[in-house]
C-alpha cells in the first residue's frame, strides 16, 4: 500500500508542467492603470453614446482582464469592445457582454472583466463600454481622473455627432498574461526555476 508521502509525491508530479516555447502562460499581472479618482462623468445611455479609454501596452502577451471604476448605485450590463489603436475606429479585436455593479462608497466600485486579446508592448489599444439602456440608469457614473493622469492614453466619449478625446482618464487597470520563460516548472500554480 502506498504511503501518504508517495501519494502526495505522485499528485505533485502530475501537476508539474514543463514550460515550453508553445506554452505555459503566467497569470495576468497589472500592466497599465490609472488609480487617481478625483472626478466622475455622468455618462449617458442614449443611442450612440459610449465611453472609451486608450492605453499603451507595456508588455507583450495576452490582455486577459480589464477593470473599470464606476460610482453610484446601479446594477445592469453593457458591451465591452477592444480595438487596435486610439479610439473606436481601429480593428475590433474582441466584443463581449459584461455585467456592471455600482455601489455608493468613497472609492470606485471596481468591475473586473475577463478578456483574451493578444497585445504588443508599445502599441496603443482602446477599450469601449456601451451601456445597456434597459438595465443601467441614465446617467450612470464612470470614475475619472482629471488632467490626464495616465500619460500613455486618453479617455474619450462617443455620441451621435462624433468621437471626442477629453482632458481626463478613466479609473482603470489592464492585466497582461505573458509566456513563462523556458526552464520554469509550474507546480499547481506555483512557479519554480528548474535547476540545471
pLDDT in tens, 82-116: 999 999 999 999 999 999 999 999 999 999 999 99
Distance, in Å, from the CA atom of 27 to the CA atom of 64, rounded to the nearest integer, reads 9
Q: What is the pTM of this model?
A: 0.81
Residue-level pLDDT at 193: 47
Beta strands, E only, the chain: 16-18, 29-34, 39-43, 50-56, 61-71, 74-84, 92-102, 109-119, 124-131, 140-146, 155-159, 162-165, 168-170, 172-177, 184-187, 190-193
Model pLDDT, residue 27: 65
Which pLDDT score is estimated for 11?
44
pLDDT of residue 179: 83
What is the C-alpha to C-alpha distance for residues 166 and 50, in angstroms, rounded to an integer? 13
Banded pLDDT at 184 (limits 50, 70, 90): low
Instruction: Note the pLDDT of residue 195.
Output: 46
Domains and CATH numbers, the chain: 1-24+180-196 (no CATH), 27-178 (2.60.120.820)
Q: How far apart are CA 83 and CA 68, in angstroms?
A: 16
Short-list 83, 170, 166, CA closest to 124: 83
Amino acid at each position: 500500500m502506498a504511503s501518504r508521502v508517495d501519494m502526495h509525491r505522485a499528485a505533485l508530479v502530475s501537476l508539474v508542467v514543463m514550460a515550453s516555447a508553445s506554452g505555459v502562460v503566467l497569470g495576468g499581472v497589472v500592466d497599465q492603470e490609472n488609480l487617481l479618482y478625483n472626478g466622475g462623468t455622468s455618462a449617458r445611455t442614449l443611442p450612440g453614446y459610449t465611453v472609451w479609454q486608450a492605453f499603451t501596452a507595456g508588455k507583450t502577451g495576452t490582455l486577459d482582464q480589464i477593470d473599470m471604476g464606476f460610482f453610484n448605485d446601479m446594477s445592469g450590463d453593457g458591451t465591452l469592445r477592444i480595438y487596435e489603436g486610439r479610439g473606436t475606429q481601429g480593428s475590433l479585436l474582441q466584443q463581449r457582454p459584461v455585467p456592471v455593479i455600482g455601489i455608493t462608497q468613497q472609492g470606485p466600485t471596481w468591475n473586473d472583466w475577463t478578456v483574451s486579446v493578444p497585445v504588443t508592448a508599445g502599441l496603443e489599444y482602446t477599450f469601449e463600454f456601451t451601456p445597456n439602456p434597459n438595465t443601467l440608469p441614465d446617467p450612470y457614473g464612470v470614475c475619472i481622473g482629471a488632467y490626464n493622469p495616465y500619460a500613455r492614453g486618453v479617455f474619450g466619449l462617443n455620441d451621435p455627432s462624433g468621437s471626442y478625446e477629453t482632458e481626463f482618464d478613466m479609473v482603470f487597470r489592464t492585466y497582461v498574461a505573458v509566456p513563462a520563460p523556458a526552464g520554469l516548472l509550474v507546480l499547481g500554480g506555483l512557479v519554480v526555476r528548474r535547476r540545471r
